């Protein structure tokens, strides 16, 4: 059997992967850099490649992209310590056969390699498109990213589950934008927002004079989604009668408008979402079991924000960049710590609303606890023991930065920049007063602002 190419710069992990290869009856060739791996690919043939995204000389995704030109049918297992949606989708679109997140379960690695060695080689995937922004590094969200990547690579029906406000509509848009139907329409219908008669008309359309007020024939959302994606949100809330009509469409791809006699055929991809447990709805007799299995080909389970509290600072930074792109707004460590302590019953949607409030009531570039809604301000009064507020707030901030791979210099510079912004705001934006009250030389103040990328304060 041809050898397995292992591209991994962590010596201990590379050795463990090589041992797994030997147990599977294969030799392993170890490469600690992307360029070395590409050189080896130019010289020989391999059964498959195991590729880490984080390499010392280049991104593993760049290696995978070049690998597709040199060995387009070579199966590839991608491993990474910092999974995110963009990496997962990019790996899938570049033809990766599997995607695993560190810390690795070596039994899972062995079984994955066994399956890849016995499977037919994958076909090269189309070039990747731009991604909508879904942010998160917590393990619960990384699992969702892998599920989303699978959904982007197929045309099968998808069921998105998760509490209200977790980003189900955004996830559906991401799947459509990175799937084969991206050039066709993306049509959304919120099923819980309409009464049954109106929902049926909106979904299937109606013929002229089919009911009172139907003065003209009208195409429904199914017809409007021809060739593209139909996203039905809160699918658990549709009535049994509409469930029956939807089942017929899912099975046969045909339907009839209200008041019509002609069967219409539409080709589309169906994505549904719910904040309820559809299995429980089936057991309770409120949702058809046959329809459930038709919709539940792929499931993406989105975690609540409380389950991934470590992602709050990254999500907040993304929202602030969108809500106030010209202000370069950032959370103060104390504000970030308060946000992470909140339970977030409204999930990501609630976080966005809180930050919209903060942007509206703040003037400078730093979001302080007093800029948050009243519930957070009340929490701030008991946020840390007396005499230790900075220590209590700084810990979570440093943990987030370390997890993101920030250097000491980067953390130092960001803290100093935050301090300067806060002090300038405190002294009314007057650098002369700031320098005098803090016993700082004015020239030094200007130099620090330039080094930290801050605009020199105006006199």
- Look at residue 386 and tell me whether its pLDDT is greater than 90: no
Asked whether the beta carbons of 356 and 363 are under 8 A apart, the reply is: no
Same domain (yes/no): 194, 111: no
- Look at residue 130 and tell me whether its pLDDT is greater than 60: no
Distance CA 266, CA 260 (A): 16
Q: How far is CA 62 from CA 59, 84, 123, 170, in A?
A: 5, 16, 18, 27
Locate 260 and state its tokens: 């019509």
Query: What pLDDT is attached to residue 16?
Result: 92
**Which residues, in sequence order, are CB contacts of 108 under 8 Å at separation 6+?**
100
Side by side, the strands of the sheet bearing 4-7 are 28-31, 4-7, 48-52, 76-80, 98-101
Distance CA 422, CA 161 (A): 41
Query: What pLDDT is attached to residue 102?
Result: 82
Query: What pLDDT is attached to residue 451?
Result: 62
Q: How far is CA 75 from CA 100, 123, 130, 307, in A?
A: 14, 9, 24, 34
Same domain (yes/no): 166, 110: no
- Look at residue 373 and tell me whether its pLDDT is greater than 80: yes
- Which contiguous run of DSSP H or E holds residue 61? helix 60-70
- For the ranges 90-104, 154-168, 399-413, the maximum mean pLDDT occurs at 154-168
- Look at residue 44 and tell me whether its pLDDT is greater than 70: yes
Residue 327 located in a structural domain:
yes
Residue 344 located in a structural domain:
yes
User: pLDDT category, 127, cuts 50, 70, 90?
Assistant: very low
Same domain (yes/no): 349, 207: no
What average pLDDT does range 249-276 have in this prediction? 95
Exposure on the CB side of residue 452, measured as CA atoms within 13 A: 22
Query: What pLDDT is attached to residue 239?
Result: 95
Same domain (yes/no): 286, 413: no
Which of 97, 128, 159 is the last residue in one of the domains? Answer: 128
Helix ranges (DSSP H) in 119-231: 139-152, 168-177, 196-204, 221-224
User: Which among 208, 220, 276, 273 has a CA at the least distance from the CA of 249?
Assistant: 220
Locate 238 and state its tokens: 């549709």
Residue 212 located in a structural domain:
yes
Determine the 3-state secondary structure of 269 from DSSP: strand
Same domain (yes/no): 291, 314: no
- E strand residue ranges, 256-303: 264-265, 269-274, 298-301
User: Which among 383, 369, 373, 378 has a CA at the least distance from the CA of 341?
Assistant: 383
Same domain (yes/no): 91, 178: no
- Look at residue 401 and tell me whether its pLDDT is greater than 80: no
- Look at residue 257 and tell me whether its pLDDT is greater than 70: yes
Which of 254, 288, 303 is the last residue in one of the domains? Answer: 303
- β-pairing, 254-255 vs 264-265, is antiparallel
Same domain (yes/no): 255, 277: yes
Same domain (yes/no): 158, 113: no
Distance CA 144, CA 135 (A): 11
CA 294 from centre of chain: 25
Helices and strands, number each (H, E), in the chain: 20, 14
What average pLDDT does range 445-451 have in this prediction? 72
Sign of CA dihedral 242, 232, 311, 54: positive
Q: What is the pLDDT of residues 333-363, one digit of tens each?
A: 878 888 988 889 999 999 999 999 999 888 6
- Which contiguous run of DSSP H or E holds residue 66? helix 60-70
Residue 156 located in a structural domain:
yes
Residue 133 located in a structural domain:
no
What average pLDDT does range 8-22 have in this prediction? 92
Query: What pLDDT is attached to residue 138?
Result: 81
What average pLDDT does range 2-7 have in this prediction? 93
Count of structural domains, the chain: 3
Query: Would you state the torsion angle of the CA atoms of residues 194, 200, 205, 211, taken in this order, to the nearest 10 degrees?
Result: -90
- Look at residue 440 and tell me whether its pLDDT is greater than 60: yes
Proportion of the chain above pLDDT 70, given as a percent: 88
Same domain (yes/no): 267, 372: no
Query: What pLDDT is attached to residue 69?
Result: 75
Return the CATH number at 56.
3.40.50.2300
Q: How far is CA 4 from CA 17, 20, 123, in A?
A: 10, 11, 19
Same domain (yes/no): 291, 320: no
Range of the domain at 195: 147-303
Query: What pLDDT is attached to residue 227?
Result: 95
Same domain (yes/no): 27, 66: yes
CA 69 from centre of chain: 28
Same domain (yes/no): 182, 282: yes
More confident: 398 or 8: 8
- b/e string for 71-105 if b means 16 or more Cβ within 10 A? beebbbbbbbeebbbbbbbbbbbbbbbbbbbeeee
Which of 261, 283, 303 is the last residue in one of the domains? Answer: 303
End-to-end CA distance of the chain: 73
Locate 122 and state its tokens: 């994958």
Exposure on the CB side of residue 442, measured as CA atoms within 13 A: 8
Distance CA 257, CA 255 (A): 7
Residue 456 located in a structural domain:
no
What average pLDDT does range 286-309 have in this prediction? 94
What average pLDDT does range 265-289 have in this prediction? 96
Residue 140 located in a structural domain:
no
User: Which among 146, 112, 23, 44 has a CA at the least distance from the CA of 31?
Assistant: 44
Query: What pLDDT is attached to residue 128?
Result: 41
Distance CA 223, CA 263 (A): 12
- For the ranges 78-92, 280-294, 314-328, the maximum mean pLDDT occurs at 280-294
For the residues of 163-181, what is the DSSP string, one character each?
Answer: STTS-HHHHHHHHHHTSTT
Residue 119 located in a structural domain:
yes
Determine the 3-state secondary structure of 299 from DSSP: strand
What average pLDDT does range 41-49 have in this prediction? 89
User: pLDDT category, 380, cuts 50, 70, 90?
Assistant: low
- The DSSP call for residue 218 is B
- Look at residue 389 and tell me whether its pLDDT is greater than 60: no
Q: Please count the residues of the chain.
A: 459
Range scoring the smallest mean pLDDT among 44-53, 159-168, 433-442? 433-442
Locate 184 and state its tokens: 């066709």
Asked whether the beta carbons of 281 and 287 are under 8 A apart, the reply is: yes
CA 393 from centre of chain: 27
Query: What pLDDT is attached to residue 254?
Result: 95
Strand partners, 99: 78
């Amino acid at each position: 059997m041809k050898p397995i190419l292992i591209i991994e710069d962590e010596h201990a992990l590379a050795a463990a992967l090589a041992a797994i290869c030997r147990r599977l009856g294969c030799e392993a060739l170890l490469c600690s850099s992307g360029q070395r791996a590409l050189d080896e690919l130019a010289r020989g043939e391999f059964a498959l490649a195991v590729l880490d995204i984080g390499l010392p000389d280049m991104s593993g995704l760049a290696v995978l992209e070049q690998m597709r030109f040199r060995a387009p049918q070579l199966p590839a297992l991608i491993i990474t310590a910092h999974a995110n949606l963009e990496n997962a989708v990019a790996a899938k679109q570049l033809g990766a056969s599997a995607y695993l997140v560190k810390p690795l379960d070596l039994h899972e690695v062995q079984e994955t390699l066994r399956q890849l060695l016995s499977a037919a080689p994958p076909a090269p995937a189309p070039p990747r498109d731009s991604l909508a922004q879904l942010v998160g590094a917590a393990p619960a969200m990384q699992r969702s990213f892998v599920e989303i990547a699978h959904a982007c690579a197929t045309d099968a029906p998808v069921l998105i589950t998760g509490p209200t406000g977790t980003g189900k509509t955004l996830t559906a848009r991401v799947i459509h934008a990175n799937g084969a139907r991206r050039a066709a329409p993306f049509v959304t219908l919120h099923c819980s927002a309409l009464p049954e008669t109106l929902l049926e008309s909106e979904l299937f359309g109606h013929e002229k004079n089919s009911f009172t007020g139907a003065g003209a024939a009208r195409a429904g959302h199914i017809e409007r989604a021809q060739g593209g994606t139909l996203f039905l949100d809160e699918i658990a809330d549709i009535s049994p009668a509409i469930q029956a009509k939807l089942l017929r469409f899912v099975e046969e791809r045909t339907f009839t408008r209200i008041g019509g006699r002609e069967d219409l055929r539409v080709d589309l991809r169906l994505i549904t979402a719910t904040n309820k447990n559809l299995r429980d709805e089936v057991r309770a007799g409120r949702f058809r079991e046959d329809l459930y299995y038709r919709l539940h080909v792929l499931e993406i389970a989105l975690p609540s924000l409380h389950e991934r509290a470590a992602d709050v600072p990254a999500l907040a930074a993304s929202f602030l960049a969108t809500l106030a792109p010209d202000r370069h707004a950032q959370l103060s460590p104390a504000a970030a710590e308060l946000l992470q302590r909140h339970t977030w019953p409204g999930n990501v949607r609630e976080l966005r609303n809180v930050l919209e409030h903060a942007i509206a009531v703040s003037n400078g570039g730093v979001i302080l606890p007093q800029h948050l809604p009243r519930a957070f301000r009340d929490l701030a009064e008991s946020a840390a023991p007396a005499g230790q507020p900075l220590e209590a707030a700084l810990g979570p901030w440093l943990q987030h930065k370390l997890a993101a791979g920030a250097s000491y210099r980067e953390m130092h510079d960001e803290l100093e920049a935050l301090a300067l912004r806060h002090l300038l705001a405190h002294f009314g934006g007057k650098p002369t007063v700031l320098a005098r009250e803090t016993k700082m030389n004015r020239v030094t103040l200007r130099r620090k602002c330039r080094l930290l990328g801050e605009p020199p304060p105006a006199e």
